[in-house]
A and B are shown apart, each in its own frame.
Chain A
Amino acid sequence: MKKILAIVLVLAMALSLAACGGNTGSSAPAGDSSTAGGSTAAESITYWSTWTSEEPQAKVIAEAAAAFEENTGIHVNIEWKGRDIATILAAALDGGEDIDVFDDDFQRMSSPTQFAPYCYDLEEMAAAVGYDDFAVAALPTAVRRWSGSLTCIPYQPYTSGVFFTMSSFEKAGLVDENGNAIVPTTWDEFLTTCQALKGAGYTALAQDDAYTMYTYGFLLARLIGQEAVSTLVKEGGWAANEAAKQAAQAIVDLKENGYLSSTSPDAYPAGENEIGFGTASMVINASWVPSEITSNTDCNETWGFFNFPDMGGTDPATVANIGAQAMAVNKNSANPQAAFDFIMFITSGEWDQTMALETSSIPADTRNTEWPEMIAGVRDGFNAQTDVYDWNMGLNDNADIKESLTAYLAQLFEGTMTAQEFVDSMDALY
């Protein structure tokens, strides 16, 4: 019986291999390195991508690469490395691998201790095309702040704040006569909003374990600014820092008042998925979250957004974590101008607009005015932003304490640690 079953399964596999084996060539996206062999283009460049071939971003880039080749005659060999590019890129560049363009998170690309030293200085080429006139200003500003010059071109930017479903706000009576959401601007107003949502039967704020530092970072950076957060994590002095305790207390209060789920922090993405299932309302996250929750839960929600509230501290509500992916030219590239032209082709104009619409993300080119419907509510808040936080708002600046900080924050969100115990535990790490 075992043998018969095995034979049937082998035959099924062999037949499907035979049927589908011929699709290999035709399913490879245009510009993929598997079709590069035998290219008769006079010039070609090689692009190592942080995307995998089946992600929507990769499909847009592949189509753009084909269009680029049609326009310029320059063939783009694309290697879809996925997120592991962060692991292998430095070794590849050190070894002299033939790479003209590469991309990754824009903070890693701009960091002098990570990929910035491998990047070609793009200031001159960017000035020649008037890049600063149409870029999202905060992004190249951040790149220049980190690396000292324009070493990469950000694309597919995201912003951050509080995302919510309109249906939950409507049910909680948090909409005006025109049906617009009444959004809080201060922390006290935020707590009032949470109470109304709780009264309507919702978990007011979803919280996943992957984003506990994000939430705490927002609270703390609002109070004392990102630079002071960075100093605190590097040098300690948590118990003596009133803001550190105040931010921790804010989390304790959220838990004690029942504004967080009883299982918070949930194992990602269970917490945010509760919004898609209609049992939670808000989440503090970045602008990919509506698309993510919709994909995970197949929900049909209309999304709203407001900036993380003002805490009455150093930073106003117009500061947020803004980030992006970024493309750079290898400083040893034999074709820097062609590589830059390809980057501009993808990150501005028609293909940037296509990227935004296909991936539900923000256009990197401010001349592209069409935003995806899912994040249309983000637009006003994004345009009003005045400064940029790093990811986790400076809390990442001490790798030695990061693991412990995450563990203690989990206990805060679980409700098993007081704010005083939290700051004392943090001080004990130094």
Chain B
Amino acid sequence: MKKNKEYKVAEPINWKKEAKLLPGYIILMLWVIFTIVLLVWILAASLSTSRDIYSGNVFSFSTGLHFENYATAWSTQNVSVFFLNSILYAGVALVGIQLISAPAAYVLSRFEFKGNKLFKNCFVLAMSIPSIMIVLPLFSLATQWHLTGTRTLLIILYICLNIPFTTTFLLNFFGSLSRTYEEAAAIDGCSPIRTFWVIMLPLAQPGLVTVGIFNFLAVWNEYFLAMIFASSDRLKNVGMGLFTMVQAMTSTGNMGGLFAAVIIVFLPTFIIYLFLSEKIIAGITAGGVKG
């Protein structure tokens, strides 16, 4: 039997409703235009020369488009090393953070026990301590224990310093899941641990994906810890590497190369957002509705 074709009829524009939203649209448009102008300026500067940039003629391209700025930035600045290090740090740290925070959030949100509230408060308190306060004592300890100059130390720090936020973030997602899943699993003879890994964890997927993206991007672009603990060239991540490139190119006056390096470093996070924007937005809003 032939299926009837579905025709989509465009809804007529409700001008009254749209007019009420106009102020919001104007503010959004201004912000979008501002952002686009900045990005276009940086892109133009990456194809320009120092002279044109400093004289305010970024869009004149008086000596043509200088694509060699990208080749220079890539080949002379070890950019591939920075990317590979960032992938390693972000990937491993992401897995480590999720493996520790997800069970912790599940237990804290679903079970009543002595010290439950204390643990939750401790995680919140830990979030309020800026890393700059603890980094020099950490560095001193790491030096004494001869741990500096290793990727392992940096990954451990990324995991530990992001657990408080991740755990706190996931509390709501696990807290909003219905208890009937656990009851049904218990009736079927499923142990609590197996219930968590097989049933509850997949149900919290929106939250895990969202916080995973946040953690990935935070570790990917992280600068301060990398400056202290990974300042050797072979260990630098994208954040520290970009700073090094900026420093080197500023001192050599190669502003075109500097902006080319900025574009190269900015591109991966931009691509990640292109792929995952819907999931990020869904994840941010998903935990807000109970039941």
A-B pairs with lowest CB-CB distance, top 9: A295-B253, A95-B143, A34-B234, A54-B248, A6-B274, A298-B51, A52-B248, A95-B140, A20-B80
Say how far B136's CB is from chain A's closest CB, in angstroms: 5
B281, CB-defined interface residue at 8 Å: no
Of the candidates B139, B244, B267, the one whose C-beta lies within 8 Å of that of A53 is B244
Contact A27 B54 (CB under 8 A): no
Complex: A87 Cα to B223 Cα, angstroms: 14
Of the candidates A2, A20, A33, A83, the one whose C-beta lies within 8 Å of that of B234 is A33
Contact A21 B268 (CB under 8 A): no
Enumerate 5 A-B pairs (CB-CB under 8 Å) in ascending A order.
A24-B81, A56-B252, A91-B143, A94-B143, A95-B141
Contact segment of B33-41, B71-79, B157-165: B71-79
Contact B244 A52 (CB under 8 A): yes
**Interface of chain B, main secondary structure:** helix
Contact B76 A27 (CB under 8 A): yes
In which size bucket is the chain B interface? Answer: 35 or more
If A52-B248, A82-B247 touch, whether A296 touches B78 (CB-CB below 8 Å) is no
Complex: A366 Cα to B245 Cα, angstroms: 33
B232, CB-defined interface residue at 8 Å: yes
If A20-B75, A21-B80, A297-B51 touch, whether A13 touches B136 (CB-CB below 8 Å) is no
B69, CB-defined interface residue at 8 Å: no
The residues of A that contact B83 with a CB separation of less than 8 Å are 17
B254, CB-defined interface residue at 8 Å: yes
A23, CB-defined interface residue at 8 Å: yes
The residues of B that contact A87 with a CB separation of less than 8 Å are 227
Contact A27 B75 (CB under 8 A): yes
B99, CB-defined interface residue at 8 Å: no
The residues of A that contact B286 with a CB separation of less than 8 Å are none
Contact A54 B253 (CB under 8 A): no
Contact A277 B55 (CB under 8 A): yes
Complex: A205 Cα to B91 Cα, angstroms: 54
CB within 8 Å of A: which B123-181 residues: 136, 139-144, 148-149
Q: Interface readout for A1-42 with B: 1 if CB under 8 Å, 0 if not?
A: 011011001100100110011011001100011100000000
Complex: A96 Cα to B144 Cα, angstroms: 6
A292, CB-defined interface residue at 8 Å: yes
B50, CB-defined interface residue at 8 Å: yes
CB within 8 Å of A: which B31-64 residues: 49-51, 54-55
In which size bucket is the chain A interface? Answer: 35 or more
A239, CB-defined interface residue at 8 Å: no
A88, CB-defined interface residue at 8 Å: yes
The residues of A that contact B251 with a CB separation of less than 8 Å are 52, 55
**Interface of chain A, main secondary structure:** helix
Contact B248 A9 (CB under 8 A): no
- Chain B positions near chain A (C-beta within 8 angstroms): 49-51, 54-55, 74-81, 83-84, 136, 139-144, 148-149, 227-228, 231-234, 243-245, 247-249, 251-255, 267-268, 270-271, 274-275
Complex: A9 Cα to B50 Cα, angstroms: 27
The residues of B that contact A88 with a CB separation of less than 8 Å are 139, 227-228, 231
If A17-B80, A52-B244, A54-B245 touch, whether A94 touches B271 (CB-CB below 8 Å) is no
Contact B245 A13 (CB under 8 A): no
Complex: A95 Cα to B142 Cα, angstroms: 8
A79, CB-defined interface residue at 8 Å: yes
Complex: A270 Cα to B271 Cα, angstroms: 35
The residues of A that contact B149 with a CB separation of less than 8 Å are 33
Contact A34 B144 (CB under 8 A): no
Contact B139 A297 (CB under 8 A): no
Q: What residue in chain B is nearest A81 (Cβ atoms)?
A: B231
Contact B54 A269 (CB under 8 A): yes
Contact B233 A53 (CB under 8 A): yes
Say how far A166's CB is from chain B's closest CB, in angstroms: 20
Say how far B123's CB is from chain A's closest CB, in angstroms: 28
CB within 8 Å of B: which A296-314 residues: 296-299
Contact A3 B252 (CB under 8 A): no
CB within 8 Å of B: which A327-369 residues: none
If A52-B244, A52-B248, A54-B77 touch, whether A3 touches B274 (CB-CB below 8 Å) is yes
Q: What residue in chain B is nearest A16 (Cβ atoms)?
A: B74
The residues of A that contact B143 with a CB separation of less than 8 Å are 91-92, 94-97
Contact B139 A92 (CB under 8 A): yes
Say how far B140's CB is from chain A's closest CB, in angstroms: 5
Contact A97 B148 (CB under 8 A): yes
A187, CB-defined interface residue at 8 Å: no
The residues of B that contact A297 with a CB separation of less than 8 Å are 50-51, 54-55
The residues of B that contact A79 with a CB separation of less than 8 Å are 231-232
Of the candidates B75, B142, B247, the one whose C-beta lies within 8 Å of that of A23 is B75
